[in-house]
Structure 1
Amino acid sequence: MRIFLLVLMTSLIGTSFSQGILEVRVMDEKDNPIEYANVRLLDKSDSSVVIGGYTLSSGRVTIESIPYGDFIGEITFFGYQNYYINNISFSKSDKKINLNEIQMSKLKNQNFEEVVIEGKTPLMESSIDKRTYNVGEDMTTMGGGLTELLNNIPSVEVDNDGNVSLRGNGSVTILIDGRPSAMSSGDGALEGIPASAIERIELVTNPSAKYDPDGTAGIINIVLKKKKLRGINLNVDLTAASEKLFGGNVGFNARTEKVNFYANYSFRYREGYRNNFNERTSLINDTTVFLEQNRLGTDFRRSHTVKVGSDFFISDRQVIGISASGTYNDRIRRGDQVNYESFNGDLNKYWERDMYDPRNRQSIDLNADYKLDFKEEKGNLIIAFTQSIGDELSIGEFEEYYYNPDGTPLDNPYQFQNQERTEYENTFTASADLIRNVSDKIRIDAGLKAIISEDIESNYLEYYDSISDMIVPDPNVNNELSFTQEIYSAYGIFGHQLADRFKYQVGVRLEQAFSEPRLINTNESFENNYFSLFPSAHVVYGDKKMGEIFLSYSRRINRPRAHELNPFPTYSDPLNLRQGNPALSPEYINSYELGYEKIWPKLSLTSSIYFKETVDRIQRIRQFYDDGRSVTTYANVDESYDLGVELIGTYSPFDWWKNMISINAFESRLAANINE
């Protein structure tokens, strides 16, 4: 077992940048904390609301970014008398006020017949290093899957095969509840998560050193729903649409002062179509070869997603949480493909290919975490453990019938292939994250993390041999790959507000990686161990009135995946093969971004310019052969440059009407000297 000693850096993340800070703890008459009490500051001249917040389970709330001036404090909670505090003043000499504990009294002799509580959640929220899209109530994706939901997020695209790209770059790290997960990996895994199970989606295009450095384009974090309301709560959603699309979601939680139990189940059923049309022209010696492929087929999908967990409130400042999340999804694709091959414009032959492609995937995540909030809102410590397991079975049955141009069968008119692919993933993650507010202007974060993973892929193919008239295995394709990887890291970030409108954070992440892909059939091993430094920096100038200008830099990495390393070919079409390259090295990215954001009451505008320099870029290479086959593989190229512009606007003329428009334009340049 490898042992790696991590040196914890003392320069670290995020910061609590503000002008004034108000702290208070709200209690009831029995000295029990009141959660979700509304604490607001009212302008003393006209009693208009300036800023506010809600108390946590401990009854505490900290309100930051308070402008200097004179205010009236107002605390409200349903069933209790309103509480007011006069003469609250913030200035350069009085920036932080602690009201300590405030006791609220219940209303007496009141009859409550019906209460309607309404709240508005902004469609998009921004912080110093990420954007959050609150998609829990997005009616446009009701009944759909996560892939439809992602296609509604600005600059995110999902193709027909479920591949996700961000700003035109497919190297994206997908997290579930902030952690690597088998629920987000594998073919069709994201499609299997219903949109009804999603609470919000977080985009981190230029992550700080606190985040794992994987992903050229950045990080997409999928946050599943988890109810936290007091008492017993139940909600049920059912959806149906044309073309046989059905879905449902059931959410439940029961919470007392010491325990919160929650459960969420989502189901999705869909019958669709999968049609592909492809044309390819190749020049082989003096012959022009034209291949036309037309595929018509069906695509059936069914999925179940479950999340169950409990939070145990040991004290006002300590919480232990355990949870389990899982998915189970089926996908069956059927199709008939007609292929036409022509030489110099004359039809040479054509053939029909019947395909039956069922696959099944199941995964489970087991999580445990502990959170300690320090006294006087000085920060917190979070320790978390995750075990993520997933497996997938994919079967492909293919039959081909070959004909001459006049429709008569060829000499060997029939071919048969049966392919079975399995994939098993097992990832263990342990982390410790510390946040320490040194003062109201300085914050330090530090953390340790270990990720230990194993990925086993196997492929078995058999075909009809016309000479022996038997079904025989294909030794050129059948293989098994074991890919083990251990990553140990430590990070530190320092954040500081130099002035009212100027704040920055700088950090670095140290990482040691041990990776070993091994071909079990041939007993070949390709060990690759490497140490990396990942610095980051974020600067913000401005405020909510004038808007904010932000500038950021980060260094990132894109590691080869198991299928990119496996040298044995796989295919569902014998003319279009895929195979990996075990000699691939990681690619490193220097990412820069400059942007501006302004928020009005009903309108927001976010614009940014980004530039990425990639060294040893992993590039998909397609090679063509004289027999008509094409092979797609991977190679490291010298470097590439990406320059882009992004514009996002939101407009909500009414509470029930939200509009969003986004534009993303980019240019990529690639130096294609391939490293053998």
Structure 2
Amino acid sequence: MKNITYLFIFILLLTFSINYSQQNPQVAKIKITGNVIEKNSKHPLEYATITFLNSKNPKAKTGGITNQKGDFNIDVIPGDYDIKIEFISFTPIILKQRKLEVSTNLGQIALIEDATQLNEVVVRTEQTSVSIKLDKKVYNVGADLMVKGGTVSDVLDNIPSVSVDSDGTVSLRGNSNVRILIDGRPSNAINISEALRQIPADAIDKVEVVTNPSARYDSEGGGGLLNIILKKGKNLGLNGALITSVGNPENYGVSGNINYKTEHFNLFTTTGYNYRTNPGNSFTNTEYLNSDGSTKNYINESKNNNRIREGYNSNFGLDWYLNNSTTWTNAFNIRKNNGNSPETVTYNNYDLNHQYVSTTYRNSTQNSDSQDMEYTSNFIKKFKKEGHKFTIDAAFSKDKDNDNSIITSAVLEKTSSAQKQNESLIQTDYVLPFGKESQFEMGYKGNFNSLFTDYKVGNLDNSGNYTPNNQFTNILDYKEKVNALYTQLGTKINKLSFLFGMRWEDSKINVNQLVTNDFNTKKYNNFFPSAFVTYEISDESSTSISYSRRISRPRGRMINPFSNYTSNINIFKGNPDLNPAFTNSLDFGYLKRWNKLTFNTSMYANKTTDSFQFIRRENGDFVNGTPVILSTPINLATENRFGFEFTLNYSPYKWWKLNTNFNFFKVDTKGDYTYTNSQNVLITQNFDNNASSWFTRLTSKITLPYKIDWQSNVTYNGPQSTSQGRVLGNMSANLGFSKDMFKEKGTLALNVQDVFNSRKRKYDTFIPGVLNSYSEMQWRTRQINLSFTYRFNKPKEKEKPQKRESDNGGEEY
């Protein structure tokens, strides 16, 4: 690790010295000013790009962008230039061979919208929140009224192709093997589902949905990846925003972001506090069976909980513009949360004729606190040729999660879980454009992670003496080291574009259970090829085909051998012996744009070996004669997944915008699982299963009189059969209203999450000779939020050109 650190410092200092030695001597400059507008509406175009080119040798010499009024003011060295004025999806204008000897005003320049810009097809309306591109979708959170006062989980659950289960599991196109990045880096949280519920939506700028990533990205995530990009101010001077919110069930928060930018540095911070209550409930009605299939008895188990969370999050950092081509960014992030979760579990017992017998209770109080700290550094060196750059990224994090519970039933029990995680990341990337339209890339990434979990379960007597339960007490020491190298080459020949890449990753995983002396080391290295071909059929449409190989490494809850003890007859347990799953992914895409409509569709096929599947079985224990049912993940042979989806963005009128997403998929699973039941009989269960399901979401945004915006959506998750039962269909709806005030410096927003209180996971389970059960789970009941945003020295975010995102979340025009 020390050698890597020294190498990092050496490269940084070497680049500084090369850069400073290449700086040109000072020459008296002149000012070139002007104004850029849209020809039809006469509206100013903010973030339009002005580039000054040498008329004899077309290389960019200098340039700049317009402010919110469309004005630009750029210092240039006197000489002869071609001046290029451009804006995404508009026809650029080139002012040929302008002789600039003194400060000059170029006057007003009007651009005309051009529908032929297909590399980044953006639905260009003031209120649009979804941008569709051939290789990904970009969701701009700022325009979404329905997540104001919410969390990142709420944001993700409103994104095309993405769904969030009631237990917080994120799926992309129905596949839960998703890699989640924050600013291009893996999340440092121990429990990612819980962490996403703690980060406020107001801290998010946009989310990138990448269904088939190239070799540049981590190979992790068989179902694709989601890149959550945090807000960071970009306007010159001092500017920012203050957001306050209040909701029911009890929910309030305040957050602010401040940015101070000059020509030499950019200082930014986002800080927030929130208090949330999340009442939830679930029940499982079970018919227990004898070995011959006859009814033995019934138990109806119900849970009511009220999760209370108090959280603080802050990030602050500095962009240091060492010169026009070199930027060094350093940032520090901290999240701190604590809370308690009182829960009551009621068991109603019935005989084989479903006649009431008795009721028992199991009460628990859980206290938790967590702290996540992360330091990140990003160095970017850009060279003279556009797109030629070298970057170094580093991230170091330290996280702690502590949970303690007291469970009261027939006996008094205590559980505790103390987790510590340390993670280090070093990454470097080099991009070299060559020829007319070709580009070469290469890079290295090292990710080093350690997680230590001390889990205890025991009994308390009337005097408070603690007796450990060795069946559930253990210590898990997890260490992961992944080193990766990648390279890729892209080029364009006429209307055909190609991108071929190869990634190599070397993995070493240690999963050690210290109490039971169960030590397990997994070593493997793999190649992950990727290939992308795009063909421009016409100026308005393109088609593409892509392939990539992916890996899903089991982590966290999936390998933690003791994760849940709230119910003593339905227990979840991780599997430390899980192996990684490998996926080959093939994707066909088509993109078509009309005047008011953008249509994007894809057909995909995935084949996964050693796929993860959750099963329910007896674990051999009994509680008052009732068998304990264990839920656990296993590697289950092969999974073939096929599906298609489409996304439509339609603007029938200026005041009405529609967006819809539909996804259909079919999953064919093949595999057998063998275990020993409570009668010490070896059971082999066949898990061959062929299932299909679908998912759809419709979002509408309407501008009402008095400039009130109304946004609503309806989501439906179709039913799906599993190898041990079926998941039932579910529909839910959200809505939001907003009104600008104080000359657009302030915005008042009201939204309702889960309008009909219907967002629940419903499923049937059938285990022959053991049980039949029906379950419903609602993680959070209907939520109503009212928020107010006030901006100072910062215009309301309207349409902006989409920028290319680097792998670490950085941005460049």
The TM tier, using the shorter chain, reads: 0.7 to 0.9
Query: How far did residue 39 of structure 1 move?
Result: 7.1
Give the counterpart letter for 1:623 in structure 2.
R
TM-score (structure 1 length as normaliser) = 0.81
Query: How far did residue 346 of structure 1 move?
Result: 3.6
| 1:358 maps to which of 343, 367, 374 | 367
SS at match of 1:196: helix
Conserved? CA contact 1:39–1:55, under 8 Å: no
Distance across 1 between alignment mates of 2:31 and 2:506: 44
Give the counterpart letter for 2:284 in structure 1.
N
Query: How far did residue 165 of structure 1 move?
Result: 1.4
Which residue does 2:545 correspond to in 1? 551
Which residue does 2:131 correspond to in 1? 125
Distance across 1 between alignment mates of 2:127 and 2:389: 26
Aligned pairs (5 A) from 1:132-151: 132-151=138-157
Distance across 1 between alignment mates of 2:101 and 2:219: 46
Distance across 1 between alignment mates of 2:526 and 2:31: 46
Distance across 1 between alignment mates of 2:31 and 2:399: 41
Aligned pairs (5 A) from 1:180-579: 180-183=186-189, 185-285=191-291, 286-344=294-352, 345-400=354-409, 414-464=410-460, 471-499=466-494, 501-542=495-536, 545-568=539-562, 570-579=564-573
Give the counterpart letter for 2:628 in structure 1.
R
- Residue identity (%): 26
Query: How far did residue 503 of structure 1 move?
Result: 1.0
Per-residue displacement from partner, 1:566-612 (whole Å, max 9, x unpaired)? 44574211111222333321110011111212234443222111111
Distance across 2 between alignment mates of 1:222 and 1:105: 43
SS at match of 1:375: coil
Change (3 A) 1:300 1:179: same
Change (3 A) 1:208 1:104: farther
Unaligned stretches of 5+ residues in structure 2: 5-26, 55-64, 87-93, 107-123, 676-813
Distance across 1 between alignment mates of 2:392 and 2:251: 41
Per-residue displacement from partner, 1:526-577 (whole Å, max 9, x unpaired)? 0110010101111112267332212111100011214433445742111112
Distance across 1 between alignment mates of 2:52 and 2:460: 71
SS at match of 1:583: coil
Give the counterpart letter for 2:663 in structure 1.
N
Conserved? CA contact 1:620–1:634, under 8 Å: yes
Distance across 2 between alignment mates of 1:419 and 1:136: 41
| 2:71 maps to which of 53, 78, 82 | 78
| 2:185 maps to which of 165, 169, 179 | 179
Query: How far did residue 470 of structure 1 move?
Result: 5.4
Query: How far did residue 651 of structure 1 move?
Result: 2.6
SS at match of 2:592: strand
Distance across 2 between alignment mates of 1:39 and 1:450: 45
Change (3 A) 1:416 1:101: farther
Conserved? CA contact 1:483–1:562, under 8 Å: no
Distance across 2 between alignment mates of 1:548 and 1:254: 41
SS at match of 2:611: strand
Distance across 1 between alignment mates of 2:584 and 2:659: 30
SS at match of 1:208: coil
SS at match of 1:209: coil
Conserved? CA contact 1:636–1:675, under 8 Å: no
Distance across 2 between alignment mates of 1:368 and 1:598: 40
| 1:54 maps to which of 37, 48, 62 | 48
Change (3 A) 1:343 1:89: closer
Which residue does 2:118 correspond to in 1? none
Distance across 1 between alignment mates of 2:29 and 2:469: 74
Give the counterpart letter for 2:644 in structure 1.
V
Distance across 2 between alignment mates of 1:211 and 1:390: 24
Conserved? CA contact 2:191–2:556, under 8 Å: no
Change (3 A) 1:107 1:48: closer
Conserved? CA contact 2:190–2:556, under 8 Å: no
Conserved? CA contact 1:428–1:453, under 8 Å: yes
SS at match of 1:581: coil
Which residue does 1:409 correspond to in 2? none
Distance across 1 between alignment mates of 2:190 and 2:29: 44
Conserved? CA contact 2:415–2:455, under 8 Å: yes
Conserved? CA contact 1:80–1:104, under 8 Å: no
Give the counterpart letter for 2:488 in structure 1.
I
Query: How far did residue 619 of structure 1 move?
Result: 1.7
Query: How far did residue 209 of structure 1 move?
Result: 0.6
Query: How far did residue 326 of structure 1 move?
Result: 2.1
Which residue does 1:21 correspond to in 2? none
Change (3 A) 1:99 1:369: farther
Per-residue displacement from partner, 1:279-313 (whole Å, max 9, x unpaired)? 22232324433221122332323322211110111
Distance across 2 between alignment mates of 1:196 and 1:397: 35
Query: How far did residue 106 of structure 1 move?
Result: 7.6
Distance across 1 between alignment mates of 2:355 and 2:669: 37
SS at match of 1:377: coil
1:158 has 2:158 as partner: no
Give the counterpart letter for 1:632 in structure 2.
S
Distance across 1 between alignment mates of 2:96 and 2:510: 54
For structure 1, which segment, 532-541 or 268-277, has the greater mean C-alpha deviation from structure 2 after superposition?
268-277
Query: How far did residue 262 of structure 1 move?
Result: 0.6
Unaligned stretches of 5+ residues in structure 1: 5-28, 63-73, 91-95, 109-117, 401-413
Change (3 A) 1:242 1:442: same
Aligned pairs (5 A) from 1:595-634: 595-624=589-618, 625=620, 627-634=626-633
Change (3 A) 1:335 1:437: same
SS at match of 2:637: strand
Conserved? CA contact 1:476–1:568, under 8 Å: no
For structure 1, which segment, 289-298 or 442-451, has the greater mean C-alpha deviation from structure 2 after superposition?
289-298
Change (3 A) 1:601 1:302: farther
Which residue does 1:662 correspond to in 2? 661
Conserved? CA contact 2:191–2:557, under 8 Å: no
Change (3 A) 1:159 1:357: farther
Conserved? CA contact 1:39–1:53, under 8 Å: no
Per-residue displacement from partner, 1:605-637 (whole Å, max 9, x unpaired)? 221111110011122221125632111122211
Conserved? CA contact 2:52–2:82, under 8 Å: no
Change (3 A) 1:418 1:48: same
How many residue pairs align between the two structures? 608
Query: How far did residue 105 of structure 1 move?
Result: 4.4
Distance across 2 between alignment mates of 1:273 and 1:480: 31
Give the aligned CA root-mean-square deviation in angstroms: 3.9
Query: How far did residue 659 of structure 1 move?
Result: 3.0
For structure 1, which segment, 298-307 or 376-385, has the greater mean C-alpha deviation from structure 2 after superposition?
298-307
Distance across 1 between alignment mates of 2:136 and 2:396: 26
Distance across 2 between alignment mates of 1:149 and 1:368: 27
SS at match of 2:197: helix
SS at match of 1:573: coil
Query: How far did residue 661 of structure 1 move?
Result: 1.6
Change (3 A) 1:41 1:98: farther
